[in-house]
Amino acid sequence: MSEAPPTPQFDQYGSTPGGSSKELVPNAEEAPVPRKKSNRKLLLLGGLAAVIVVFLAVFLPIYFTIIRKKDGSSSGNSGSSSDGDSSGGDSDDSGSSATPTPTPTKGPTSGGDGSIITMVDGTTFTYKNAFGGHWVHDSEDPYKLDAQANEWSPPLNQSWDWVRNRIYGVNIGGLFVLEPFISPAIFQKYPGTRDEWDLSEAIMAANGNLDELEEHYRTFYVEKDIAEIAGAGLNWIRLPIGWWAFEVAEDEPFLQGKSWNYFLQIVEWARKYGLRVLVDLHAVPGSQNGLNHSGRFGHGVNWMAGTQGIYNAERTIYYLRILTQFLSQPQYKEVIKAIGLVNEPRAATLGHDPLASFNLRAYNVLREVTGFGEGNGPYIAIQEGMRPMSIWADDLPGADRVIVDGHSYFVFNGANTARIDAAAVDGLPGGTWPAQACRAWGPEYNASRNNFGPSIGGEFSAAPNDCALFINGVGSGSDHPQCAEYQDWENYTTGMKEGIKNYVLASFDSFGDWFFWTWKIGPSSAGRVEAPLWSYSLGLANGWMPTDPREATGKCLAMGVTRVEWDGTFEPARTGGVPTPTIPASYTAQYPWPPASISDVAGAPSSLPRFTEPVPALTLPPFTSATPTATST
Ligand SMILES: *[C@@H]1O[C@H](CO)[C@@H](O)[C@H](O)[C@H]1NC(C)=O
Ligand SMILES: *[C@@H]1O[C@H](CO)[C@@H](O)[C@H](O)[C@H]1NC(C)=O
Ligand SMILES: *[C@@H]1O[C@H](CO)[C@@H](O)[C@H](O)[C@H]1NC(C)=O
Ligand SMILES: *[C@@H]1O[C@H](CO)[C@@H](O)[C@H](O)[C@H]1NC(C)=O
């Protein structure tokens, strides 16, 4: 990578949020850095996007108010007939996004349990929701917020109450940041690949293009999946995305930009089915943890560490800023309610203090974009970094709308062979697992709420062990003695299914607000799911996931573990109740940007390469539905 001159180029952000957004315009005198495939291409892209934005701004209102009106019948609240446009946005033709073709007939614009949905490819499914949810999608009013996931969750047009409402969520793992254990078949097709970096290189070498990755985006999740998430009694999704959704540098083999529109498609489906979204920046330049789900495995941590560490962190903040600008727009801010800064930064290597500096820097930049207080852009989630949540308890004091995202697994803690079909304290199957979850996680999340503020279990699974294909990486199996039994999910006994379910219920109860990892595991090349306990949908279909997540309430109490249902209050700033929140000057002084030191760097980080934002900054295009979705795999 080329090295930018070591001049501090981010001073214009200052550390006092709330300033004029004009200050965000980067200093133009430094030639923009990045090791882009081609800066000219990016400028063209930006120019093109600007033209499209202007076109849409002018054309769409005309289209919606005049052209579509001619289509006749609009509203309808029918239980069962077809939805004429499942795209969630403007056009639903497969041609150019710039020439929407009105659909000849317009179906109902909302429906409840039993209504029939027609997907973009013409296939239909029945929307099933036993919990009083209803979908809403009106192509004449595409940003409507009337959908409701279920009767106990507020519709999108009402605010989310972080004290009284509970997040029952699921991750959309492995869709835009691929992982061998989530979509094994595509990795098996290219032997030797073990992360998306390798996979992208192998696909490009074999085909001369990366279309196969776009095919994955198009087919791994379809509208039916998002409808089923709402039908499962869930109300939020956590949606991981990699930086290559925005752009890539010259030496980065990822598919550039393509996932963005598919990302927006998921968001529009979330809107349609009443689900709120936490967007999670799952992979950042340089790798924040050296793991395959950061995009690149085994090349160390070059983000907030090493000579490119500050450069990569500033490049990350730039992407977070343009993403936040996009999703703070009125049409998105009530659907995308939170943004995760960086998934699982390796805090043990990076250290708390440099990460605290990064979090403060990102917070200031993002809040300068959004302003303060409820309704002004997303909540900001900081991930616990694979360390106890307590290490963040004193961070960002007084900051506006910040949450901690904890990831809780026993899987990677060594083999435990306690039988899950044995009786637990309450006489039901589960063995020692439910109580272990309640004891380990209940107090941790309770304390995080008391000491920091809103806290979520952003990732966990139903797996008590590492018996799953590729969970330890491609080429590494498990030597756990119960793997034959755990892998044979088609033949689980009733006791096994009930035991797993009780372990999951105890996990739900411990977290309070949670996102299971993940909704779906794709088949391996053998044609079957080989990481069964990581798939919410597989467990629902086969009886080991709870059909009603509310069953979890009181599970830990039944385990004889102190009731963990949290009933405190949050500091008002944490839930947007302070119009001009301030972070104490002493805290800002303690965590300067760049930090006083970072890992793997001998001297002062202030002399390291810095990232200069390009001028103009990248513009993220609006949703176009020119990507018809094929049948789910
Ligand atoms: C919000 O959505 C509900 C349906 O979920 C609808 O009944 C209500 O009128 C909407 N409220 C507003 C203010 O639009
Ligand atoms: C949760 O926090 C409350 C309030 O501080 C405390 O009273 C309660 O004992 C805690 N519960 C657990 C299980 O830690
Ligand atoms: C890939 O990621 C998994 C999950 O984090 C990890 O356990 C494994 O070691 C990684 N390695 C490889 C080679 O894929
Ligand atoms: C499940 O059990 C049946 C016999 O009961 C066996 O034929 C089948 O192979 C088993 N499934 C798997 C995936 O092992």
Q: Which atom of ligand 2 is closest in space to residue 566's alpha carbon?
A: 1
CA–centroid distance, residue 612 to ligand 4 (Å) = 58
Residue 157 CB–ligand 1 contact under 6 Å? yes
pLDDT at 458 over 80: yes
Residue 93 CB–ligand 1 contact under 6 Å? no
pLDDT at 39 over 90: no
Domain range list for the chain: 168-607
Q: Which atom of ligand 2 is closest in space to residue 563's alpha carbon?
A: 13
Residue 291 CB–ligand 3 contact under 6 Å? yes
Residue 291 has a pLDDT of 72
DSSP state of 84: S
Average pLDDT over residues 597-623: 93
Residue 105 has a pLDDT of 61
Report the C-alpha gap between 616 and 109 in whole angstroms. 39
Residue 155 CB–ligand 1 contact under 6 Å? yes
Report the C-alpha gap between 600 and 6 in whole angstroms. 18
Residue 284 CB–ligand 2 contact under 6 Å? no
Nearest ligand to the C-alpha atom of residue 289: 3
> In a 3-state reduction of DSSP, which class is residue 175?
coil
Q: How many residues does the chain have?
A: 633
Residues 6+ apart with CB under 8 A from 328: 369, 370, 376, 377, 378
Residue 626 has a pLDDT of 58
Helix (H), strand (E) at residue 110:
strand 110-111
CA–centroid distance, residue 301 to ligand 3 (Å) = 14
Residue 443 CB–ligand 2 contact under 6 Å? yes
CA proximity to 497, closest of 560, 438, 547: 547
Report the C-alpha gap between 169 and 175 in whole angstroms. 16
Residue 290 has a pLDDT of 75
pLDDT at 65 over 50: no
Residue 289 has a pLDDT of 79
Nearest ligand to the C-alpha atom of residue 526: 4
- Percent of the chain whose predicted confidence (pLDDT) is above 90: 76
Q: What residue's CA is closest to ligand 4, atom 1?
A: 491
Q: In terms of DSSP bridges, do strands 455-459 and 402-407 run parallel, antiparallel, or are they unpaired?
A: parallel
> In a 3-state reduction of DSSP, which class is residue 276?
strand
Q: What confidence tier does 298 reach under pLDDT thresholds 50, 70, 90?
A: low
Report the C-alpha gap between 272 and 109 in whole angstroms. 10
pLDDT (tens digit per residue) in 550-596: 999 999 999 998 766 788 899 999 999 999 999 999 999 999 999 99
Q: What residue's CA is closest to ligand 2, atom 6?
A: 446
Residue 299 has a pLDDT of 73
* Predicted model pTM: 0.84
CA proximity to 217, closest of 275, 180, 251, 264: 264
DSSP secondary structure string for all residues of 495-519: HHHHHHHHHHHHHHHHHSSEEES-S
Residues 6+ apart with CB under 8 A from 591: 353, 356, 357, 360
Residue 569 CB–ligand 2 contact under 6 Å? no
**Please, how many CA atoms are within 13 Å of residue 571, restricted to the half-sphere of its CB?**
21
CA–centroid distance, residue 350 to ligand 4 (Å) = 47
Helix (H), strand (E) at residue 337:
strand 336-340
Residue 328 has a pLDDT of 96
Give the Cβ contact number of residue 480 at 10 Å: 18
Average pLDDT over residues 75-80: 34
Q: What residue's CA is closest to ligand 4, atom 4?
A: 491
Burial of 286 (0-12, 13-18, 19+ CB in 10 A): buried
Report the C-alpha gap between 505 and 304 in whole angstroms. 37
Residues 6+ apart with CB under 8 A from 598: 304, 305, 306, 309, 310, 350, 351, 354, 605
Phi, psi at 29, each rounded to 5°: -75, -25
Residue 603 has a pLDDT of 85
Residue 564 CB–ligand 2 contact under 6 Å? yes
Q: What residue's CA is closest to ligand 1, atom 10?
A: 146
Q: What residue's CA is closest to ligand 4, atom 5?
A: 491
Nearest ligand to the C-alpha atom of residue 132: 1
CB 411 within 8 A of CB 463: yes
Q: What residue's CA is closest to ligand 2, atom 5?
A: 450
Q: What residue's CA is closest to ligand 1, atom 13?
A: 157
Q: Which atom of ligand 3 is closest in space to residue 194's alpha carbon?
A: 14
Burial code of 18-34, b = ≥16 C-beta within 10 A, e = fewer? beeeeebebeeebebbb
CB 281 within 8 A of CB 241: yes
CB 453 within 8 A of CB 400: no
Residue 214 has a pLDDT of 98
Residue 39 CB–ligand 3 contact under 6 Å? no
Which ranges constitute the DSSP H helices of 24-137?
39-62
CA–centroid distance, residue 85 to ligand 1 (Å) = 21
pLDDT (tens digit per residue) in 81-136: 333 333 333 333 333 344 445 455 678 999 999 999 999 899 999 999 999 999 99
CB 458 within 8 A of CB 468: no
The mean predicted confidence, pLDDT, of the chain is: 85
DSSP state of 475: T
Identity of the residue numbered 36: K
CB 122 within 8 A of CB 627: no
Report the C-alpha gap between 131 and 152 in whole angstroms. 8
Burial code of 42-66, b = ≥16 C-beta within 10 A, e = fewer? bbebbeeeeebeeebeebbeebbee
DSSP secondary structure string for all residues of 207-259: HSS-HHHHHHHHHHS-HHHHHHHHHTT--EEEEEEEGGGT--BTT--S--STH
Residue 77 CB–ligand 1 contact under 6 Å? no
pLDDT (tens digit per residue) in 408-438: 999 988 889 999 999 999 999 999 999 999 9
Nearest ligand to the C-alpha atom of residue 491: 4
Q: What residue's CA is closest to ligand 1, atom 1?
A: 146
Report the C-alpha gap between 44 and 226 in whole angstroms. 34
Q: What share of the chain is helix, strand, coil (3-state, %, to 5)?
A: 35, 10, 55
CA–centroid distance, residue 398 to ligand 2 (Å) = 22
> In a 3-state reduction of DSSP, which class is residue 156?
coil
> In a 3-state reduction of DSSP, which class is residue 368?
helix
Q: What residue's CA is closest to ligand 3, atom 5?
A: 291
Pocket test for ligand 2, best of 389, 446, 556, 564 (most atoms within 8 A of CB): 446
Residue 625 has a pLDDT of 82
CA–centroid distance, residue 162 to ligand 1 (Å) = 20
Average pLDDT over residues 26-36: 34
C-alpha dihedral, 570 to 571 to 575 to 576, nearest 10°: 160
Nearest ligand to the C-alpha atom of residue 559: 2
The lowest-confidence range among 29-33, 446-450, 500-504 is 29-33
pLDDT (tens digit per residue) in 162-181: 999 999 999 999 999 999 99
Residue 148 has a pLDDT of 98
Phi, psi at 411, each rounded to 5°: -50, -40
CA proximity to 62, closest of 22, 102, 21: 102
Residue 60 has a pLDDT of 41
CA–centroid distance, residue 382 to ligand 1 (Å) = 32
| Strand partners for 515 | 169
CB 186 within 8 A of CB 207: no
DSSP state of 282: E
Nearest ligand to the C-alpha atom of residue 448: 2
DSSP state of 382: E
> In a 3-state reduction of DSSP, which class is residue 590?
helix
Residue 474 CB–ligand 3 contact under 6 Å? yes
Report the C-alpha gap between 385 and 472 in whole angstroms. 19
Q: In terms of DSSP bridges, do strands 402-407 and 514-516 run parallel, antiparallel, or are they unpaired?
A: unpaired
Indicate the CATH number of 168-607 among 3.90.480.20, 3.40.50.720, 3.20.20.80, 3.40.630.30: 3.20.20.80
Report the C-alpha gap between 270 and 267 in whole angstroms. 5
pLDDT (tens digit per residue) in 229-281: 999 999 999 999 999 999 999 999 999 999 999 999 999 999 999 999 999 99
Q: What residue's CA is closest to ligand 1, atom 3?
A: 146
CA–centroid distance, residue 295 to ligand 3 (Å) = 11
How far is CA 541 from its chain centroid? 24
Q: Which atom of ligand 2 is closest in space to residue 562's alpha carbon?
A: 13
Angle at which helices 211-220 and 259-273 cross, to 10°: 10
Q: Which atom of ligand 3 is closest in space to residue 293's alpha carbon?
A: 2
Residue 565 CB–ligand 2 contact under 6 Å? no
